[in-house]
Amino acid sequence: MHDDAAAIINRIQQLKREHRAIILAHNYEPPEIQDLADITGDSLGLSVQAAATDAGVIVFCGVSFMAESAAILAPEKRVILPRQECGCGLADTATAAQVREARRRHPDAVVITYVNSSAAVKAESDICCTSGNAVNVIKRVPADREILFVPDRNLGAWVQQQTGRRLILWNGCCPVHDAIRADDVRAARARHPEAAVIVHPECRPEVTALADAVCSTGGMLAAVDRLPPREFIIGTEEGMLHPLRRAAPDRIFHPLKMNGMICADMKKISLVDVLRALEKQEPVVSVDQDTAVRARSALERMLDVPRN
């Protein structure tokens, strides 16, 4: 490791102790941020950890909807997102006004919102889900109720297929996962014929249909333990290769596509940003009280539902 990086990490550890801070990082963050973090995980795991920690300060290395969820679930804690501008192209596909309008069109529907959404959209929802528990969330809805699923049409299609329930799908998608095509899967299988294919449920139905396993980023770590092959083709943001290689150094992981599987928002936070954030104790993520109260009940209902 470069001397400068080692000095920055030392200073970060010192400030963490002084401020009783904990660093959470999503599985897509750059390797050095994941290695620095106290806890890494998927959206569901990080939400659970944010709600449970007794640290006074949470430094959230991820994107804004994740940090907002942490702020909502842990209102007494200071939640810091080292770079405020880390957004999510999928979350941007739904606004609170649009969800209210959709509710008017479907007054009897249960509104289930994927956590990749703003706090304002969560506040308009009955319950949230992550890719880690979406199937189980849907299974809990009485069979005679209509379901409006916001905002990811691909995750919605996958859940629909897993549960046999018909959902009213919002027309949003993740630009990174939606860009993966069936031909990319076929080409990757041709390159690595012995490998099992694991993809994220934000991928198109034509892609999930060709996969051996479909799971959240946290679920991928568990799937690798469960599946027999030694080689895997991974269809999600390329940051995921780091925790997989760290957890299973005896296995071989290939990205499904050679390029293009990068979420720019997940790559913005550097070690220097984390250091600055701890020194200045900002930028703080805050959600207005009314929105937070309504979003919290949707998030808390989600936390009661086990993983798929």
Beta strands in 134-244 (DSSP E): 147-150, 168-169, 196-199, 213-214, 231-235
Check residue 216 for interaction with ligand 13P (CB under 6 A): yes
As measured in angstroms, the least distance from the Cβ of 173 to ligand SF4 is 9
**Measured between alpha carbons, how far is 90 from 152 in angstroms, rounded to an integer?**
7
Site for ligand 13P in 66-125 (CB under 6 A): 116
**66 or 271: CB nearest ligand SF4:** 66
Q: By CB under 6 A, how many residues form the interface with ligand 13P?
A: 12
- Choose from ligand SF4, ligand 13P, none: what does 216 bind? Cβ within 5-8 Å by kind: ligand 13P
Token digits of residue 52: 């449970």
As measured in angstroms, the least distance from the Cβ of 87 to ligand 13P is 11
**12 or 115: CB nearest ligand 13P:** 115
Whole-angstrom Cα Rg for the chain:
19
- Choose from ligand 13P, ligand SF4, none: what does 178 bind? Cβ within 5-8 Å by kind: none
- Choose from ligand SF4, ligand 13P, none: what does 265 bind? Cβ within 5-8 Å by kind: ligand SF4
Q: How many of the other CB atoms lie within 10 Å of CB of 300?
A: 15
* DSSP H stretches of helix in 75-131: 96-105, 119-123
**Measured between alpha carbons, how far is 96 from 232 in angstroms, rounded to an integer?**
39
As measured in angstroms, the least distance from the Cβ of 215 to ligand SF4 is 14
Angle at 308 between CA 197 and CA 81, to 5 degrees: 85
**Measured between alpha carbons, how far is 176 from 115 in angstroms, rounded to an integer?**
17
As measured in angstroms, the least distance from the Cβ of 88 to ligand SF4 is 3
> Site map for ligand 13P, 33-62, x if CB under 6 A?
---------xx-------------------
